[in-house]
Structure 1
Amino acid sequence: MNGHLSNHIMYADDLVLISSSSAGLCQLLHECEKYGMSHDVKYNAKKSAVMIFRSATLKGCSIPECKLKWVTLHVVTTYRYLGNYISDDLSDDNDTNRQCRTLYVQGNIILRKFSMCSLEVKLTLFRLYCSPMYGVQLWWNYKKYPLNILHIAYHNILKLFIGMSKYESTSLLCTPFDVQCCQSVIRNMAYIFMCRLDISVNCILNDILTSGLIFTSRIRKHWNRLLYVNT
């Protein structure tokens, strides 16, 4: 991108290698092995995996085995990286389900521990621990059904905090209690993320932004559909 090669991404002890071919990936793994031997760095091959993003013409093609320290890496269709589920078909449905489960877990834990608190305290806890849904700003390729299930989970948890039955209408639920609805949370997080991208000094992000790829990408078009309305 922009004349710069970005074939590895590192965050703490998590490392991602990116290659457009299996031969290139094997070469990158070999470089990691050499670096590990010279710098006394150990890689856990059992916690490593290979994911293939195939084009339509390569759906049935197999690739040679990729090995790290003589251990063959498993080829996976879904993998959890930095808390988000990534799928080889670029679908966000698995991560939507992950967020739905997280909402129920967080909501039930808070209700169990703070059941005797006032409504104001409960709503504050809901805004702090249930409204910021991790990773939703990265979703763009999902089916309506998993997203609807997430909306239902969000508003059901809110009803439990308020003391309403889950069967009551949600249309007038959020405004009186000054709580964002689920759709508003997703739009707000997407907007904040877009603003952070525009001012980021990260070299990889700058390569994407200055190359113009971001304006033709499907995720950018999805953000525009979330935030802007044609009249």
Structure 2
Amino acid sequence: MKDDEDIKRERRALATRAKMLAHRFRRSTAPVKITLFRAFCTTFYTCALWTSYTQRSLSDLRIQYNNAFRALLRLPRWCSASGMFADARVDGFQAIMRARCAAALRRLRGSRNSLLAIIADRLDSQLLVHWTRVHSVVATYTQLA
């Protein structure tokens, strides 16, 4: 019952989409490439439901996300990930993960379905524990950087 396989599937899908974009739109302008990247490479379907995974698998996905952006914009591999995303005004990997988790929790809590409301309101819920961890780990990481 690990989510590592789903994360690996998402990583492969991201690599495929990014490679296709980089190839088909290699002569396009940077704003067009950035718009395409936002549309096709920031989805991470079901990521808000990932609760049982290794840090390695999530780190591999983050690295793939960063490298996909670099390849699309033809940036050098050694350029700063946070700098390139800030310059392009694109959310970094951790920002996307936080936004997806927050949106899923908001939808659960706003649902009229009583079962979903119970899951969202339980403090010992696996999803709530995970979402809290996502936000606190990122906050701690940001403070250390």
> Where do 4+ consecutive residues of structure 1 move more than 6 Å?
none
Percent of aligned pairs with the same amino acid: 28
CA shift digits 1:40-67 (9 cap, x unpaired): xxxxxxxxxxxxxxxxxxxxxxxxxxxx
Pairing 1:219–2:130 present: no
Report the alpha carbon displacement of residue 204 of structure 1 after superposing the two structures with TM. 3.2
Report the alpha carbon displacement of residue 202 of structure 1 after superposing the two structures with TM. 2.6
CA distance in 2, matches of 1:106, 1:123: 14
Please tell me whether the aligned partners of residues 126 and 158 of structure 1 are also in contact (alpha carbons under 8 angstroms). Answer: yes
CA distance in 2, matches of 1:145, 1:100: 12
User: Higher helix share goes to which structure?
Assistant: 2
The answer for unaligned runs of 5 or more in structure 2 is 141-145
Pairing 1:169–2:77 present: no
Partner of 1:122: 33
Pairing 1:143–2:54 present: yes
TM-score scaled by structure 2? 0.86
TM-score scaled by structure 1? 0.56
CA distance in 2, matches of 1:108, 1:123: 14
Superposition RMSD on alpha carbons, in Å? Answer: 1.8
CA shift digits 1:107-151 (9 cap, x unpaired): 111122222211000000101110121111111211111111101
The answer for unaligned runs of 5 or more in structure 1 is 1-89
CA distance in 2, matches of 1:176, 1:201: 41
Of 154, 157, 165, which aligns to 2:65? 154
The structure, 1 or 2, with the larger RCO (C-alpha pairs under 8 Å, 6+ apart) is: 2
Partner of 1:93: 4
Report the alpha carbon displacement of residue 203 of structure 1 after superposing the two structures with TM. 4.2
User: Higher strand share goes to which structure?
Assistant: 1
CA shift digits 1:9-54 (9 cap, x unpaired): xxxxxxxxxxxxxxxxxxxxxxxxxxxxxxxxxxxxxxxxxxxxxx
Question: Which segment drifts farther, 164-173 or 102-111?
Answer: 164-173
* Matched positions, count: 138
Partner of 1:195: 106
Partner of 1:81: none
The amino acid across from 1:142 in the alignment is Y
